[in-house]
Amino acid sequence: MNAQYPIGPFVKPSSYNLEEVTQWKEDIRSFPRLLKQITHQLSTDQLDTPYRENGWTVRQVVHHVADSHMNALIRFKLALTEDFPLIKTYDEKKWATLADCSLPIEASVKMIEGIHERWYAVIKEMDETDFHRTMNHPEYEDPQPLYTNLGLYSWHGRHHLSHIELVANAQKG
CB 29 within 8 Å of CB 120: yes
Establish how many alpha carbons lie within 13 A of residue 64's alpha carbon, considering only the half-sphere containing its beta carbon. 21
**Confidence (pLDDT) at 14:** 83
Q: What is the pLDDT along the chain (173 residues), one digit of tens a residue?
A: 799 999 999 999 888 999 999 999 999 999 999 999 999 999 999 999 999 999 999 999 999 999 999 999 999 999 999 999 999 999 999 999 999 999 999 999 999 999 999 999 999 999 999 999 999 999 999 999 999 999 999 999 999 999 999 999 996 75
Find the radius of gyration of the CA atoms of the chain.
Answer: 16
Q: Quote the pTM value.
A: 0.96
Contacts 24+ apart (CB under 8 A), 134-138: 134/79, 134/84, 135/75, 135/78, 135/79, 135/84, 135/85, 135/86, 135/87, 136/84, 136/85, 136/86, 136/87, 137/87, 137/89, 138/86, 138/87, 138/89
**Confidence (pLDDT) at 173:** 59
